[in-house]
Amino acid sequence: MTTSRRHMLAFAVLALLATGGCADPQSPSGPGEAQPATDQRGDAVADIGDVSVRASATQTSMLPESVAREYGLDRSPRTILLLVNLRGVGSAPAPVISATVTDLLGHATPVSLRAAHIAQADAGTVDYVGTVDATLPDTLRFTVVARRGDATATLEVSRDYYPQ
């Protein structure tokens, strides 16, 4: 895969995942906790030292077929993709990432994440992907916790999902 193709793929995934979401920038932070924020695309973002953590979620049916194939996903309106992107990892160990999803009824379920080995121009970039099956319509809130050493960042992405 060429470098320009890699950049286009990464941009396409981030653009598609930017159809909504939120983080609570007023969440209380304790010592060693990174303060989350929301960027202009609606992704939840936070920094842990020099590592940037970005979380976003979308229905896999919204992904182009080539992107879904690249991440090893089946496209379906009922399958929701959680993408956690780490940038600036460097040679130090990457933050440890965990995630849960909570539906409108308050049922919380862990989200199994796996590293997606996508060829990227920046060796300091790591993607983690996880999917959940949803009964539509629903509102899902994803909570992502990133830990690196004594630092912790908690990001939240909440979005409404509808049948397509």
pLDDT in tens, 41-69: 568 999 998 899 999 999 999 999 999 99
- 111 lies in a domain? yes
The pLDDT score that the predictor gives to residue 105 is 94
The pLDDT score that the predictor gives to residue 37 is 58
Of residues 69 and 18, which shows the higher confidence score?
69
Confidence of residue 5 (pLDDT cuts 50, 70, 90): very low
The pLDDT score that the predictor gives to residue 100 is 98
Q: Determine the structural domain holding residue 118 and report its residue range.
A: 3-21+41-161
Cα–Cα distance measured from residue 55 to residue 41, given in angstroms and rounded to the nearest whole number: 11
pLDDT tens column, 103-113 = 999 999 999 99
Highest mean pLDDT among 4-13, 122-131, 141-150: 141-150
Can you tell me the mean pLDDT for 4-28? 39
pLDDT greater than 60 at residue 3: no
- 127 lies in a domain? yes
- 28 lies in a domain? no
- 34 lies in a domain? no
CATH number at residue 152: 2.60.40.3340
Tell me the three-class secondary structure of the chain, residue by residue: CCHHHHHHHHHHHHHHCCCCCCCCCCCCCCCCEECCEECCCCCEEEEECCEEEEEEEEEHHHCCHHHHHHCCCCCCCCEEEEEEEEECCCCCCCCEEEEEEECCCCCEEEECCEEECCCCCCCCCEEEEEEEECCCCEEEEEEEEEEECCEEEEEEEEEEECCC
- 29 lies in a domain? no
For the chain, how many structural domains are there in total? 1
The pLDDT mean for the chain works out to 80
